[in-house]
Structure 1
Amino acid sequence: MQIKSIGIDLGKTTFHLIALGTRSQVVIRKKFSRSQLLVFTANLPSSLIGMEAGVGSHFLGRALREQGHEVRLIPAQFVRPFVKSNKNDYRDAEAIAEAVERENMRFVPIKTEDQLDLQALHRVRDRLIARRTSVINQIRAFLLERGISFRKGPASLRRQMPEILE
């Protein structure tokens, strides 16, 4: 059994794996939990493995790379054209296995833990700023209903709030 490429459809708790042979025929079709998947792939010869880029794909990509596999993450919009008929997890895995073989396919680099941490900090900060802006706008609207107005922005609110509360 010669494996040309492997496609893995990632889920929250289960992973669907399709391995394609040298003539693009399905040679392995299995469903795994996370721990089962890593045990199974550890026993495979070094292979080309594709996954959709998304939640958990960077962690799994690093783990599979440590096992000696060549791992490529594909943006979901580039996998969609390879799905043959009604969508299900095995068909998605097969589409990923076909897409990962393409030479001109665009891939997402696997992020390090530091890169993921930095990305998380940026996202949390963006959300915090958006919520702060929302609260300031809400306070401005409440005060405008009472005939009190002040400029936009957090600095203006901090400066004028003590006067308003007196």
Structure 2
Amino acid sequence: HRAHQVGRLLHRGRQPEKIDDRDAEAIAEAATRPTMRFVELKTAEQLDIQSLHRVRSRLVGARTTLTNQLRAILLERGTTIAQGRRKLEQAVEALLADPDFMAGRIRRLLAEMREEWLDLDRRIEALDREFVELARNDAAARRLTSIPGIGVLNATALVAAVGDGSSFARARDLGAWLGLVPRQHTTGGKPRLLGISKRGNKYLRTLLIHGARAALPSLARSQTLLGAWLRSLLVRRHRNTVVVALANKLARIAWVILRREAPFEADRATATG
């Protein structure tokens, strides 16, 4: 009876006007299965860090939208600027400093957009400093930052999302949860691997891929087992495929670091774990 009540409470979070007793019974039955896996509850600190990351992600998105719109306004008026946020920033500063460039309402609009851009930069930088402080004071995050390609953002996001990694039985489970493993399509008994599944935490997956792309050149040159593995992959696979494979590797290494509570050792990192 108690399990049935729990099932009804779990189901109630969906659509109260469409509660189905059989669905509730199925949930309660599943909860009694010995192999059922449950999501670990996050601590207040993990929830706080996740909230900070979500706010930063929103601000970065707003800044990207703003700079794209700013570039489009200038392009419509015949001013083409090279790609890159820094180049756009320098060009806008130079244009606004030129008294002969544009006049009237559009010039004021560009100045207002530039001020909004600067405000977003300040807010993002303030959050970045906060993440640095969080990583400095958290032992798990400090250990994660010893991994090449895992910076302060990646480390704090990992700690907030997976804690000590105890929710995953193996390192490969974390990579699969992040959607960094190939999708498998099997027909006629013949398995075929497709692109990555892109399931799980999109924000964390994106951070890991960016970190892997930044770390790939130096890691591929290193005289380690990991470096040899990357060099062999680069010969056989497209560079973007190697970046994703390295991101999966970084996630698996991160799981080992979290579970064993030990810093990263390059000489011990291999292609399998």
Q: TM-score, normalised by structure 2?
A: 0.30
Which has the larger share of strand? 1
Q: Which has the higher contact order (CA 8 A, sep 6+)?
A: 1
Q: TM-score, normalised by structure 1?
A: 0.47
